Amino acid sequence: MTTQAVTAADSRAASKAAASQRRFLGGFLGSFLAVLAAVLAFNVVVDPLALAGTGVVPTAVEPDRSIKLDLIQHLKRGPQILILGDSRGRQAEPSFLHRLTGRTAFNAAVTGGSAPEAHVFVRFTADRFPQQRRRYIWFTDEGLASGIVQPQLAQDPRARRYLPDVPGFGLGDVKTYLSTDATKDSWRVFEKCILAACHTKINYHPDGSLTKQSLRYLPEHAKSLRRSVAARLAGVRANRETVRQARQELAIPGRFAYLDRMLAFMNQRGEVPVIVLNPLYPSVLAAEEKNGFPAHRATMEKLAQLDKRFRFVVVNCEDMRKWHGTKRDWSNASHVNRANMRRELRYIVARSDGVLR
Amino acid sequence: MLFNSYVFLFAFLPAVLAGWWGLSRWKPLRLAFLSGASWFFYAWWDWRYLPVLIGATSVDFLAGRWIAASASESCRRLLLATSLATNVGILAYFKYAGFFFGSLNGIGRALALGSGLPSLHVLLPIGISFYTFNSMSYTIDIFRRRVEPTRNVLEYTTFVGLFPHLIAGPIVRFTDLADQLRRLTPRLTSETASRGVFFLSCGLVKKLLIADQLNPYVARLYTNHGHLGLATGWAAAVGYSLQLYFDFSGYSDMAVGLAWLLGFQFPQNFNSPFKAVNISDFWRRWHMSLSSWFRDYLFIPLGGSQRGARRTVLNLVVTMFLAGLWHGAAWTFVVWGLVHGLFLGSHAVLRKAGWTPTSATLNRALTFLIVCAAFVIFRSPSLGVAGDVLSSMLGLHGLDAAAQLHALLPLRFTLLAAALLVLVNVAPNTWQIRLRPRAWHGMAVGIATAIAVMTISQPHPFIYFQF
């Protein structure tokens, strides 16, 4: 074979290799971008966290904020007591509270509810029934309040008017919707809504309380209380913080903006809310106290500061021995069931300085 | 800026690649652009420490030139000492001063002498241990007349500051890059790009889909150090060893891939370390650029293994003590280094006496177990925590209760760790995989990378960033 022929063969082989390398790169770039684009499109369409506002299917997060706004909208008479807070407060039965106080009540506690939700429900109920003064029970945890507005609250037009400066869909949301977590949520919604029935198994009475049938479908309904407590204890041990860290967490700018607004609004109307610190499972509380419970100390300091500016009553229910709770009446390590909630409500009414009577 | 972040992957990297290859006709401009981009990358973390990097770079560049130009041996020694003192001084102040004062105060308190020294809280500049070692190797090699100094300051700033290796290695020597910097790759070929993409993707997958998935389980085990039993103790040791390997080798793969994309070739940093048949073999496979640095610039100058068994053991212990201290200013790293020094020393003695096992499988298993046990000290925040985990591994805390196993050793973690153990013992490493440049291979790599990128939402820094 001549030198020229060898050179030509080499050159052909080289260009063939280069072409296959280019195909590799093309395949890489094409599939990489296609997967990301498909994931983003899927998540935006399903919109599991209600960030894009497409509204094609219900969100992955429980739509209880909108449900409870609906229920308040359809109430014929304004409730005399409004129950606010997170999933711990959802177990509170307005009918039982009526038996204890003789006053009508509505349960506006929602999953993951914090100060923005409470603020919206207080203002919405006040606008719906403007002539009525009201009592409030707000179930909350250590740390008291979050200033973060959950997208599912911000997406509801009835809530949005009480939430100034809530931004629209932005670059940060693109990042969220490229994540595996959001994709899992989308798939959950997709599976539920497209492949099966698209309705929640958690239902509410007109007074905002959970129907009996709903109780076993609650996300906090643990299969094994013992395992749930063990996991929570491991979490407590894993996240040991100092008092300084706990104070720093409470000093995050904007954290108490909605709480301040809500308390100011209530006090302006001559209303005094009852702030209830949610119970902790006895062994979890013991583990926290063994570490000095920095979050509790920082929270009490914050409440003392707020007490100088606002009027409210604090009922600390963290230790269930105070309200004669039992260890077996817990749904999981952080949620009491209905039986314990009744005991807790008795204690709250008795310790609320007559505010609820 | 982390390699595993959106801002790096979708903004910084495309911009740098476009600029670097767009300026391919003008070498000085190219090097200036890459140095500037690397400094920007460094300053993204904290711009106040950029002068430290630039200062160290300037001193070593000048020292290198003057050492080469000087005919007097004493002058050359003085210049080398100046360069080494600058680098060691930077390390001593930023990395070790707080530890040193804190330890002295601790000793003072223990002896009831009080704690008279001020407590220093100096923020550790990221990547300081890596770029000072890069720079030191440059001046030492010039002093030893093994390399010619560069006359081009831009070549040198690019060598020290090159962003793929700036933060966490590999510790690249000037001899590795000198020719590549002198004759820059004129254009990005599809072969180079394919290799770069492949290494980068492998690194992302290792870091995001493996190391970061292990992290929460391992962290939970170590925070419950006082409650671990036999199984959970070993899970903590093995889990962390795997996490560290996939984290750091993932970073190294990404660094190599990024270098390829810029037309540079970096040395290999990991060579299947868990396939090592003895502790000496392990150190030839784990963090190879650091091991060879300590071998060439410390162990051999101390006399290496040429001065009898006792001196060899001493040299190994001293070298590993300093290697441990290099990793971090804490007693855990010191002890970890000393333990490895003793392992290496014992192995040298046993091998000479012919007392090492002959079975390769047994050797591999033993090496893996002692390496895992030593990594417990490396991972633990204090020696007390390390003592708790190690004693649980010895069975001193008994067996685990069923609830404990359920809480700390979920099935997902157990399966993942088991699969990874098989993988590190059987599968080829990134350098051994022969890339087949076919479209569907590219698609497979692209899909894996996209899945890895989807887990970025809250990026975790690489473990070796703290060093």
Rounded-to-integer distance, Cα B136 and Cα B238, Å: 35
Rounded-to-integer distance, Cα B213 and Cα B191, Å: 32
What's at B223, amino acid-wise? Answer: T
Q: B338 and B317 in contact (C-beta within 8 Å)?
A: yes
Query: Which one of B7, B453, B456, B460 makes the best mutation probe of the A interface by having the most chain A beta carbons within 10 Å?
Result: B453
Are the Cβ atoms of B201 and A28 closer than 8 angstroms?
A: yes
* Catalytic position from the list B225, B287, B327, B347: B327
Alpha helices of A149-209 — where are they, by DSSP H?
Answer: 151-154, 157-160, 171-177, 180-190
Q: Which chain A residue shows the shortest CA-CA distance from B228?
A: A234
pLDDT confidence tier of residue A186, bands split at 50, 70 and 90: confident
Q: Is A183 on the interface with B (CB under 8 A)?
A: yes
Q: A25 and B193 in contact (C-beta within 8 Å)?
A: yes
User: What's the N-to-C CA distance of chain B in angstroms?
Assistant: 16
Interface of B with A in 72-101 (CB under 8 A): none
Chain A contact set for B443 (CB, 8 A)? 27-28, 30-31
Rounded-to-integer distance, Cα A20 and Cα B419, Å: 33
Instruction: Give how far Cα B398 sits from Cα of A218, B377, B402, B409, Å.
Output: 38, 21, 13, 16
The ipTM, to two decimals, is: 0.84
Rounded-to-integer distance, Cα A245 and Cα B355, Å: 54
Q: Is B112 on the interface with A (CB under 8 A)?
A: no
What letter would DSSP give residue B267? P
Residue in B436, B438, B457 nearest the CB of A175: B457
pLDDT of amino acid A152: 75
Instruction: Give how far Cα B137 sits from Cα of A146, A274, A301, Å.
Output: 52, 68, 56
Q: Which of B250, B92, B269 minimizes the C-alpha distance to B170?
A: B269
Query: Which one of A20, A23, A24, A283 makes the best mutation probe of the B interface by having the most chain B beta carbons within 10 Å?
Result: A24
Instruction: Give how far Cα B310 sits from Cα of B340, B348, B421, Å.
Output: 16, 10, 36
Min Cα–Cα distance to chain B from A98, Å = 41
Please give the average per-residue pLDDT across A32-42, as a whole number: 94
pLDDT of amino acid B117: 62
Find how far residue B308's CA is from the centre of its chain: 31
For every residue of B65-132, which 3-state class applies, written as one string? Answer: HHHHHCCCHHHHHHHHHHHHHHHHHHHHHHHHHHHHHHHHHHHHHHCCCCCCCCCCCCCCCCCHHHHH
**Strand-pair partners of B171:** none
Q: A106 and A135 in contact (C-beta within 8 Å)?
A: no
Q: Is B394 on the interface with A (CB under 8 A)?
A: no
Are the Cβ atoms of B437 and A180 closer than 8 angstroms?
A: no
| Number of neighbouring beta carbons within 10 Å of residue B414 | 15
SS3 A322: coil
pLDDT of amino acid B270: 95
Q: Is A20 on the interface with B (CB under 8 A)?
A: yes
Min Cα–Cα distance to chain B from A241, Å = 12
β A135-140/A313-316 pair status: unpaired
Q: What share of chain A is helix, strand, coil (3-state, %, to 5)?
A: 55, 5, 40
pLDDT of amino acid B162: 94
What digits encode the pLDDT tens for the residues A232-287? 887 777 677 788 888 888 888 788 889 999 999 999 999 999 999 999 999 999 98
Residue in B193, B438, B443 nearest the CB of A20: B438
| Number of neighbouring beta carbons within 10 Å of residue A7 | 10
Place of tokens 């940060």: A172
Active site residue B441: no
What letter would DSSP give residue A212? G
Chain B contact set for A39 (CB, 8 A)? 450, 454
Are the Cβ atoms of B404 and A27 closer than 8 angstroms?
A: no
Are the Cβ atoms of B455 and A240 closer than 8 angstroms?
A: no
| Number of neighbouring beta carbons within 10 Å of residue A105 | 26
Could you give the angle at which helices B128-143 and B153-161 cross, rounded to 10 degrees? 140
What's at B9, amino acid-wise? Answer: L
Rounded-to-integer distance, Cα B52 and Cα B55, Å: 5
| DSSP per-residue letters across B291-343 | HHHHIIIIITTTTTTSS-HHHHHHHHHHHHHHHHHHH-SSHHHHHHHHHHHHH
Output the CA angle A234-A240-A242, nearest 5 degrees.
165
Place of tokens 């560069």: B150
pLDDT of amino acid A166: 67
β A135-140/A81-85 pair status: parallel
Q: Which residues of B315-344 are buried (b: 16+ CB within 10 A; e: fewer)?
A: bbbbbbbebbbbbbbbbbbbbbbbbbbbbb
Q: Is B145 on the interface with A (CB under 8 A)?
A: no
Q: Residues with Cβ < 8 Å from B287, sequence gap 6 or more?
A: B169, B248, B269, B270
Are the Cβ atoms of B445 and A18 closer than 8 angstroms?
A: no
Rounded-to-integer distance, Cα B393 and Cα B399, Å: 10
pLDDT of amino acid A136: 95
Place of tokens 């409004």: A82
Please give the average per-residue pLDDT across A61-76, as a whole number: 86
Chain B contact set for A29 (CB, 8 A)? 442, 446
Q: Residues with Cβ < 8 Å from B92, sequence gap 6 or more?
A: none
Are the Cβ atoms of B450 and A32 closer than 8 angstroms?
A: yes
Helix (H) or strand (E) segment spanning residue A139: strand A135-140
Q: Which of B160, B128, B200, B168 minimizes the C-alpha distance to B63?
A: B160
What letter would DSSP give residue A83? E
Q: Which has the minimum average pLDDT: A129-138, A320-329, B303-312?
A: B303-312
Q: What does each of the 467 residues of chain B score in pLDDT, given as a tens digit? A: 788 888 899 999 999 999 999 998 899 999 999 999 999 999 998 888 899 999 999 999 999 999 999 989 999 999 999 999 999 999 888 887 777 777 777 777 777 666 566 665 667 788 888 999 999 999 999 999 999 999 999 999 999 999 999 988 799 999 999 999 999 988 889 889 999 999 999 999 999 999 999 998 999 899 888 889 999 999 999 999 999 999 999 999 999 999 999 999 999 999 999 999 999 999 999 999 999 999 999 999 999 888 888 899 999 999 999 999 999 888 999 999 999 999 999 999 999 888 888 888 999 999 999 999 999 999 998 999 999 999 999 999 888 888 778 878 889 999 999 999 999 999 999 999 887 788 889 999 999 999 999 988 766 766 766 65
Are the Cβ atoms of B193 and A21 closer than 8 angstroms?
A: yes
Chain B contact set for A35 (CB, 8 A)? 446-447, 450-451
Q: Is B449 on the interface with A (CB under 8 A)?
A: yes
Min Cα–Cα distance to chain A from B11, Å = 13
Chain A contact set for B439 (CB, 8 A)? 23-24, 26-27
Rounded-to-integer distance, Cα A295 and Cα A242, Å: 8
pLDDT of amino acid A14: 73
